Homo-oligomer: A and B are copies of this chain.
Amino acid sequence: MSRPAVVLLSGGLDSATVAAIAQRDGFEPHALSFRYGQRHSAELGAAMRVVDQLGIADHKVVPVDLRAFGGSALTDDIEVPKGRDPAEMVGEIPITYVPARNTIFLSFAMAWAEVLRADDIFIGVNALDYSGYPDCRPEFIDAFQAMARLGTKAGVEGGELTIHAPLIDLSKADIIRLGTSLGVDYGITVSCYDPDAGGTACGECDACVLRRNGFAQADVADPTPYRD
C-alpha cells in the first residue's frame, strides 16, 4: 500500500518532476498549491494539468495573501528582470524572491501532513535556486524539518516527519533528464515569471533562461512555447 505524502506543486518544471519522483518511490501524492497573488497565476492552471497527467487523486489550492506584506517582484508591481545571463544570477538575492515563501508553503504542508497522518513532505527546491534564494538552501530544509518534528502532534508522539528535497543537488539539465525518464510532460508546465494572459512564457526572464539552458544541456527537445 502506498504511503501518503504532501507534495508542494507550483505547476513549474521542478515540482512536476518531484511529484513523479514521489510516485516512483511508492508514495501517494496529495498535491498542495497556493493562490498567492502571484503575477503568474498561469502556474495554477499548469498545476491542475500536472495533477491530471500524473493521476493524482487529491489536490488542494489554498489562498494565501502574500501581497499583504509586499517586497517582491512576483507579488508587487516591480519589473521582472529580463535577458540576464545565468552567471549574473549567482550570489545575490533576486528581486523575484518572495519573503518567507517556502517557510509559509512548508508550514501549510506540515498542517495538512498532520491531518493526513503523513510523515513525508516533498518540495522541489534545487541547487540553481539556492544560489539566490535563502529558503532553498539545504541547511534551511534541514532546520525546517527539525522545527517541524518539534511543532507537531506526530512529532511529540514519536513520528519522524521528513522533508524530501530530491532535486536539491541537481542541475536543471539533470532534473529534465530525470523527469523525462519518469514520463513527465514538460509541455504542460509553466516556469515563466512573466507569462502573457494565455500562459505563454516570455522566454527572457531568469526562470525562462534557466529552463531553456536546461533543455539544451540535457539534449532534450524543449516543448515550451515561448513568445519571443
Contact = CB atoms under 8 A, between A and B. Distances in A.
Given A71-B115, A115-B70, A134-B155, A147 B64 contact: no
Contacts of A69: 60, 108, 111-112, 114-115
A49 interface: no
A156 B134 contact: yes
Copies in the assembly, this chain: 2
Interface string A79-115: 0000000000000010001111111100110111011
A220 interface: no
A201 interface: no
A107 B111 contact: no
B147 A140 contact: yes
A111 B103 CA distance: 9
Contacts of A93: 153, 156
Contact of A111 (B66, B110, B134): B66
